[in-house]
Amino acid sequence: MSARTVKGQSADQLCDALAAFSRQMYERGWMPGTSGNISARLPGTDDRALITASGRDKGELTAQDMVVVHAATGEVVEPTTLRASAETSIHTALYRATDAQAVIHVHSPYATAVACRAGQANRPTLLRLERFELLKGLGLADPAGTEMPVFPNWAEVPRIAAHVADHYGQTSNAPPALLIADHGITAWGKDLAQARNRLECLESICQVLTINGVGIHTRDI
């Protein structure tokens, strides 16, 4: 059984949209192999979200590969033989701590390169982003600058999720995106298209940051 067992056209459409976005990210080289995951709150429900199943080839994802979970806890709501993404706890931390309606995690090359350089193995850091015109694409209260958190890539994913919940629970002007050291980037928005647009802006900013001579400035949280 899959998320298709949830009654209603909106659930069907959202399953299709998650699969389509996933295939698009794969085509761009942002979800190599089975990497990356996508979720969205299920319209018409207070507390449910759809998330991609774990370990699936993201270039071949279909609407059948979605799992219905509790948006706040990640508990699987609809019985299924599929396993929800191994990184579900990061998505649910964001649904609890922010106004995110959709969350996309990718291993895009430039953001991952910056996450390797800016991150630390055992403590969160903040990456300073300022002056880039594309910061306006993030919907920041102050587009002049922001600090994007970079969390350690703990093997126990709930440990990453705990950092995420702490940071976004306490930081009112944080950007709608985060990096995981040596791993990748996650962005969110009011819907999948806005989350994807924000990823595009940040991947482009990270491309510039990887050019020789452009400095990467970080500080400990």
Ligand X SMILES: CSC[C@@H](O)[C@@H](O)C(=O)COP(=O)(O)O
Residues lying near ligand X in the complex (CB under 6 A) are found at 33-37, 52, 54-55, 85-87, 105
**Nearest residue by C-beta to Zn ion?**
184
Closer of 35 and 207 to ligand X (Cβ): 35
Closer of 118 and 160 to ligand X (Cβ): 160
33 binds, among Zn ion, ligand X, none (CB under 5 to 8 A by kind): ligand X
Closer of 152 and 184 to Zn ion (Cβ): 184
169 binds, among ligand X, Zn ion, none (CB under 5 to 8 A by kind): none
Site string for Zn ion, 88-127 (x = CB under 5 A): ----------------------------------------
| Interface of this chain with Zn ion, residues 158 to 187, rule: CB under 5 A | 184
Q: How many CB atoms lie within 10 A of CB 22?
A: 28
Closer of 11 and 111 to Zn ion (Cβ): 111
Sites of contact with Zn ion (CB under 5 A):
184
